[in-house]
Amino acid sequence: MALPLADVRVIALEQFGAGPWGTMQLADLGAEVIKIEDPTVGGDVARYVPPFAQEQSSLFFESFNRNKRSIALDLRHPDGRAAFERLVARADAVFSNLRGDQPAKLRIRYEDLAEINPRLVCVSLSGFGTSGPRAAQGAYDTTIQALAGWMSVTGGPAEPPTKSGLSLVDYSAGYVAAIALLAGIWQARRDGRGCDVDLSLFETALALLTYMGTWTASRGWRAQRLSDSSHQTVVPFQTFRAADGWLAVACAKESLWRALCDALERPELAVDPRFADLTARNANRDALVALLAEAFGERPVAEWVALLERHGVPSASVNDIEGALADGQVQARGALVGYEHPTLGAVRTVASALGETLTAEPGRGPLLGEHTREVLAEVAGFSHEEIDALERAGAFGAP
C-alpha cells in the first residue's frame, strides 16, 4: 500500500534544524522531498556540525534529513534558476526556512512562481515572518526563546534565565510548517490555486505560551521561575530528590492527589484543608512541597516509581539521554532504528514519532548533490546532454 504522501512533491530550500525537521516529517510519510543545497557554501551547514562530522556528512545532519534527495543547485546562476523553475512546474510546494527577506530576493514567493505552476504552495518559515520590523533579522532557537519569554519561566528562582535543553522552538516550528504545508496543498488541489504560507519561529513560540500567554494578556498575570521544574499553579507537579537521585511526580487531578496520599501512607494530607483542592494546594505550595520533599528523600528512586505506579500516580525517574534510550518501552515499541551510511558507517537514530503504520522505512540522509542528475532527469525532464551543459556552466557549483 502506498504511503500517505506518496503523491506529494516538495522542493526544499532549507538548512540546519527547523526547516529540515519539518520536511523530514513529510518524507517519513512518503512525500518526495527534493532538498536544494547551495554548492557555493558547501550545502546545508548541518553537514558540518561537530562532534560527529566527516567529510560532508554528520550525525547532526542525519537527524534531520532521512529519506530525502539532495541536488546541488546555485539559484543565483541563470542556468540554475532555469533548472529550479522546471522542477517547480512539477512540484506541489516550495518550502524554505531562510531569513524573512530572502523569499522576495530569491523570487520564491507565489507571485514569482504562479505563472509556472498556479497550484504551487510557497511556504516560508523564518525567524519573524516576511513582514514587520524584524522581517530581515536572523534568528535561532536560543534568541527566540529569549525574546518570546520562554527563558523567563525556565530554571530556578535563583538561577539566570535559562534555555530549554532541546531546541523546542525549532522542532515545534517544523511541525507547524509541515501541517501548514499539507493544508495549503489540500486547498490548492481543491480550489485549483496555490498561495503563500508565511510562518515564523517567533509566532510559533508565542503560540506555545498557551495558558501563560492567555493569563498574561487577559489578566496581567506574571509568571515565575520556580524550583525543581515546578508547574506554575498545579501542586505537586515537579521533581523531587529521592535518596539516590531525582524523580518527577505529577498530580493534576484530585484523584491523583488522593492516590499520592495513599502511596505515602499520609491519609491526613488528603483531608487537610490547606491541601483540599488545586487552589488550596497552590496557595500553600511551600508547606506542601516541604512535607513531600522530606518523604521522598527517604527511599531510592526505583522504589518510589514502583510504589507510585502501583497506586496509579504518574511518576518517572529523571534519566539522562542514555537512560532514556535504554528504557524497556523503547525496545518494545521499536523506537530506535538503524542503517548503514557510506561515510559515517553504522547509524542508530530515533524512529519517527508518526508511527510505523504510516511511515517509510528509515533511510539515510542524502550526500551533498547525490541526486542532482537523476532528479533533473526524472522530475524536470532534462536530457543527459542538458545536464552535462548545466554542469559545465557552473549551475551545480564550480566546474
Residue type, 369: G
Nearest to 233 by CA among 280, 272, 273: 280
Mean pLDDT of all residues belonging to the chain: 97
C-alpha distances in angstroms, 375 versus 144, 220, 361?
36, 54, 21
Average pLDDT, integer, range 239-259: 98
3-class DSSP string for the chain: CCCCCCCCEEEEECCCCHHHHHHHHHHHCCCEEEEEECHHHCCCHHHHCCCCEECCEEHHHHCCCCCCEEEECCCCCHHHHHHHHHHHCCCCEEEECCCCCHHHHHCCCHHHHCCCCCCCEEEEEECCCCCCCCCCCCCCHHHHHHHCCCHHHCCCCCCCCCCCCCCHHHHHHHHHHHHHHHHHHHHHHHHCCCEEEEEEHHHHHHHCCHHHHHHHHHHCCCCCCCHHHCCCCCCCEEEEECCCCEEEEECCCHHHHHHHHHHCCCHHHHHCHHHCCHHHHHHCHHHHHHHHHHHHCCCCHHHHHHHHHHCCCCEEECCCHHHHHCCHHHHHHCCEEEEEECCCEEEEEECCCCCCCCCCCCCCCCCCCCCHHHHHHHCCCCCHHHHHHHHHHCECECC
Q: pLDDT per residue over 131-184, tens digit each?
A: 999 999 999 999 999 999 999 999 999 999 999 999 999 999 999 999 999 999
Q: Report residue 398's pLDDT band, with 50, 70 and 90 as the boundaries.
A: confident
User: Quick one: what percent of the chain has pLDDT higher than 90?
Assistant: 99
Q: pLDDT per residue over 320-342, tens digit each?
A: 999 999 999 999 999 999 999 99
204, 113 Cβ separation under 8 angstroms = no
Average pLDDT, integer, range 114-126: 98
pTM of the model: 0.95
Residue 295 confidence (pLDDT): 97
CA distance 314 to 209: 24
Q: pLDDT per residue over 95-113, tens digit each?
A: 999 999 999 999 999 999 9
Asked if the model's pLDDT at residue 75 lies above 90, the reply is: yes
Residue 1 confidence (pLDDT): 85
81, 87 Cβ separation under 8 angstroms = no
Average pLDDT, integer, range 197-204: 98
By the 10 Å C-beta count (0-12 exposed, 13-18 middle, 19+ buried), 229 is classed as middle
43, 70 Cβ separation under 8 angstroms = yes
| Pair type for strands 237-241 and 246-250 | antiparallel
CA distance 209 to 201: 13
Which residue in the list 77, 231, 341, 371 is annotated as catalytic? 231
Asked if the model's pLDDT at residue 255 lies above 90, the reply is: yes
Q: pLDDT per residue over 39-74, tens digit each?
A: 999 999 999 999 999 999 999 999 999 999 999 999
Q: pLDDT per residue over 281-304, tens digit each?
A: 999 999 999 999 999 999 999 999
CA distance 338 to 340: 7
In this structure, the chain runs to a length of 399
Determine how many CB atoms are found less than 10 A away from the CB of residue 309.
Answer: 13
Residue 2 confidence (pLDDT): 95
C-alpha distances in angstroms, 67 versus 25, 27, 365?
10, 6, 6
Residues 6+ positions from 327 with CB-CB distance below 8 Å: 319
Give the chain's domains with CATH numbers.
9-208+354-393 (3.40.50.10540), 227-318 (3.30.1540.10)
Q: Annotated catalytic, 231? A: yes
Residue 399 confidence (pLDDT): 80
